[in-house]
Copies of this chain bind each other. A is one copy, B any other.
Amino acid sequence: MPRTVDHEERRAHIADALVRVAGRDGLHAVTMRAVATEAGVSLRLVQYYFDTKAQLMVGALRHLERQSHQRWARRLAELPDPVSPRAFIGAFLAEALPTDEQSRVFHLVGTSYAVLAMTDSDLVEEPFVAGVDNLERQLTDALRRAEAAGQLPPGTDIAVEVAHLLALNHGLGTSVVIGQRTVDEAWAVLHRHLDRLFATDTRATAATP
């Protein structure tokens, strides 16, 4: 065998290039050649590591999910050890808001894939719903903890609230990326909603924005 190379690293490198292109010019501008150029490799290499364009697309999506998962884990690990559920949820949702370039690209590319999944469903569905399900599970757990700690008003329907938070967060993210709202405005909405959701007597202030 020739000088053996770390395949996974190469694939990650190429996937990163795709995300950069999609984040800059849109997912429709993603072509095998554009990705190759962005990654600084030859077209043939992209073909070699991802046989077809479809595989390249789902590969990049999976890569993006993994990456964002790490981002979340890192951010949540920075929180003080016994975190109030409210602070946890605040940080969790804040991470999805397009505050810096990386999260902006994440939202943009993620939404692009979501739109893709609306029509070419089966193509991209599996890695996509996996990521979304993961977020939903974590949020549900956090809300359960909050409920167990008696921080939610009685009769709160957790599934409904989770759906609300996720939809709201996505909508806010989109409005920010579009330029319709500033990050601060989005934050105000989120903050206000959490205040209402955790409507107990002890009204704590939220976590770090």
A residues contacting B by CB (< 8 A) are 24-29, 108, 111-112, 114-121, 129, 132, 157, 160, 163-164, 166-172, 174-175, 177-181, 185-186, 188-189, 192-193, 196
Contacts and interface: CB of A to CB of B under 8 A. Distances in A.
B189 A164 contact: yes
Given A167-B181, A167-B186, A168-B168, 20 more contacts: A25-B119, A26-B119, A108-B115, A108-B118, A111-B115, A118-B177, A121-B179, A129-B180, A157-B188, A160-B185, A160-B188, A163-B175, A163-B186, A163-B188, A164-B168, A166-B171, A167-B189, A170-B171, A170-B174, A171-B172
A61 to B, nearest CB: 14
A93 B196 CA distance: 21
Contacts of A175: 163, 166-167, 170
Q: How many identical subunits does the complex contain?
A: 2
Contact of A167 (B24, B117, B168, B196): B168
A108 B119 CA distance: 9
Nearest to A25: B119
Given A26-B118, A118-B108, A192-B157, A185 B171 contact: no
A90 to B, nearest CB: 16
Given A117-B178, A119-B25, A129-B180, A192 B164 contact: yes
A30 to B, nearest CB: 11
A119 B26 CA distance: 6
